[in-house]
Amino acid sequence: MTARVLVTGAARGIGAATALAFAREGARVLVVDLNRPHATAEAVGAAGAADVRAYACDVSDADAVLSLRDAVKETWGGLDVLVHCAGIIHEAPLLETPIADFDRVIAINLRGSFLIGQAAIGLMVPDAANPPRAILIASDMAYYGRETFSPYVASKHGVLGLVRSWAKEFAPGILVNAICPGPIDTEMLGAANMSAEWRQRELAIPLARFGQPDEIAAVARFLAGEGGRYFTGQGIGPNGGSVMP
Ligand SMILES: NC(=O)c1ccc[n+]([C@@H]2O[C@H](COP(=O)([O-])OP(=O)(O)OC[C@H]3O[C@@H](n4cnc5c(N)ncnc54)[C@H](O)[C@@H]3O)[C@@H](O)[C@H]2O)c1
């Protein structure tokens, strides 16, 4: 059966690259984003998806995610692969961080991961012989602290906690893993507007370059494919060596 793949945060960046990568292998792809999912969905269709749908959804909104779940059930009857990429970043010193900013980062990055994971896993049929895959994008910052990024770092530590717990809860019928990228060249990273000092700091990693969204998409495809069958509860790190957990 052609894989049914839901990708969140798919309008741009890592999510768009992932949706396109699955389309190229002929999967059915659901492009979900808060903003402009339809433009990416067109490209996904042109890239060879067996079926493509676009759905606008705020992943932090419980009712919206339930409606998304119902729409997937009605359209495809279930789900084989989730790649949850939707997220935001936030940078500010602790003493200048309003609590509303903390709440927003946690709502989108952590609550959103919980809601989307709950909805997607609920649509999967556990099968130890051919397990569905839930893949959540965390960050290399799930493994270390970083000054002036504490809400983001905490949210990504939390995503890894969800993944490890769900991996145990659903083994062996559903495999659950995180991808923990290093600095990837997307609008979130903002390389074009980076100060020279910041760039130097970001590139002070063994591979000394930014990763490309395609390189994360390739890891998602690996985890969703034959090679990923013995992985669960892991944080896979395409990170240029930024962290070696
Ligand atoms: N770019 C990096 O350096 C990097 C490194 C590590 C981890 N990550 C993680 O990878 C994921 C993708 O990041 P990216 O670099 O592609 O970012 P991006 O900003 O380019 O894309 C993020 C997408 O998520 C969508 N989104 C934001 N809030 C949403 C919401 N509430 N509901 C639905 N969609 C929402 C945005 O509209 C956007 O299309 C994020 O979880 C991010 O934290 C990125």
* Boundaries of every domain in the chain: 4-236
7 in Cβ contact with 213 (< 8 Å) = no
Q: Judge whether 152 counts as a catalytic residue.
A: yes
In the CATH scheme, what is the homologous superfamily, with its name and number, of domain 4-236? NAD(P)-binding Rossmann-like Domain (3.40.50.720)
**Ligand 1 atom, smallest distance to 112 CA:** 31
Pocket test for ligand 1, best of 12, 14, 18, 67 (most atoms within 8 A of CB): 14
Determine if ligand 1 sits within 6 Å of the CB of residue 184.
Answer: yes
Ordered per-residue pLDDT tens for the chain, 245 residues: 799 999 999 999 999 999 999 999 999 999 999 999 999 999 999 999 999 999 999 999 999 999 999 999 999 999 999 999 999 999 999 999 999 999 999 999 999 999 999 999 999 999 999 999 999 999 999 999 999 999 999 999 999 999 999 999 999 999 999 999 999 999 999 999 999 999 999 999 999 999 999 999 999 999 999 999 999 999 999 999 999 98
**Ligand 1 atom, smallest distance to 14 CA:** 16
Determine if ligand 1 sits within 6 Å of the CB of residue 108.
Answer: yes
